[in-house]
Amino acid sequence: MLQNEGDRLTKVVVCTPKKEYFSVDDLKIHNITAFADPMETGKQHGALKSTLAKFGAEVIDVPELKGHPNSVFTRDASVSTPQGFIQLRLGLPTRRDEGKWMARILESKGEPLAGEITAPGTGEGGDIILAGQVAFIGHSRRTNREGVKQVSALLTKMGYEIRTVSLTEHYLHLGGAMSVIGPERVLCCRNVFPGSFFNGFDVIEVSRRGPSTGNVICLSGDEVIANVAENLEAIETLDRKGIRVHRIDLSEFRKGAGGPSCLVLPIERK
């Protein structure tokens, strides 16, 4: 179960790219900008899994969903909560089956279903970030207003305070502009969020550059994983704050418009 993305990460779901991520017939419809190099992609994903395992997290590695190159980005298919997982209905049409796919996986691991986003709502995990008693939700190209409404209703019943923000086209997901990096600490891009959005949190700001500038994986309150291909300012800033940063090159996954956290679905933090 997951209450706060700033807590210690103990169990995740990842999906090693072996075939589907490289078998793309139409880059545009899958929102992929370029073909990834299989050898380099495997090396990068292996480094991510190794870092997670060495930290102490249980890494559940599942096969890709046939015909779904974006299934390697497990974060978007579900969101874990204190009461179980919410099955999402992804906003990109070519990813629509991934919600049910991930639900089957999580149920097979004993995770209870806490709710489901239904049509016409869409919602992706990169737009839903839980931080203790606060749920940050992004209204984006992938999570529509009906999706925001449904997710908000489910999380409100669990006792979360809902804080929503509409994102510009610069960001695919909320997670590209912010990450929870401790129980009460947030990394975010400047000039993206309303002044009161992070009330109650210690905020570390970085300049808004690429679409995943604010995207890191929180391992614990003083330790994160960042992409050296895009997060250099964040890495330097976090270093100065005394936070340990594991630097991994995840450039092959930027070709699929993904940041570090997109590759990891947290299902348990303690």
The residue whose two tokens read 């996954």 is 253
Q: Domain for residue 2, yes or no?
A: no
Q: Domain for residue 3, yes or no?
A: no
Q: Is 110 left (phi over 0), alpha (psi -120 to 50) or beta?
A: left
Please give the model's pTM, rounded to 2 decimal places: 0.97
CATH code, 116: 3.75.10.10
Q: Domain for residue 191, yes or no?
A: yes
Arithmetic mean of pLDDT, 163-172? 94
Contact 245, 238 (CB under 8 A): yes
Q: Domain for residue 130, yes or no?
A: yes
* CA dist 107 → 48, 85, 103, 184, 241 (Å): 25, 9, 6, 30, 39
3-state secondary structure of 197: coil
Arithmetic mean of pLDDT, 197-216? 94
Q: Domain for residue 1, yes or no?
A: no
Arithmetic mean of pLDDT, 153-157? 98
The rounded distance, in Å, linking the Cα atoms of 89 and 100 is 8
Going by pLDDT thresholds of 50, 70 and 90, the confidence category of residue 230 is confident
pLDDT at residue number 209: 84
The rounded distance, in Å, linking the Cα atoms of 109 and 111 is 6
H or E, element range at 188: strand 185-189
The rounded distance, in Å, linking the Cα atoms of 189 and 178 is 6
Contact 76, 262 (CB under 8 A): yes
- At residue 203, φ and ψ (nearest 5 deg) are -110, 130
pLDDT at residue number 116: 98
Count of other CB atoms within 10 angstroms of residue 172: 26
pLDDT at residue number 212: 92
Arithmetic mean of pLDDT, 143-159? 98
Question: pLDDT per residue over 37-73, tens digit each?
Answer: 999 999 999 999 999 999 999 999 999 999 999 999 9
Residue 208, pLDDT above cutoff 90: no
3-state secondary structure of 151: helix
Dihedral sign (CA 72, 75, 78, 80): positive
For residue 28, what are the contacts with CB-CB under 8 A and spacing of at least 6?
A: none
Q: Domain for residue 242, yes or no?
A: yes
What are the residues facing 78 on neighbouring strands? 87
pLDDT at residue number 135: 98
Contact 13, 265 (CB under 8 A): yes
Q: Domain for residue 145, yes or no?
A: yes
pLDDT at residue number 139: 98
3-state secondary structure of 136: strand
Residue 267, pLDDT above cutoff 90: yes
Per the structure, the count of domains in the chain is 1
Q: Domain for residue 4, yes or no?
A: no
The rounded distance, in Å, linking the Cα atoms of 252 and 15 is 15
Q: Which domain holds residue 137?
A: 9-269
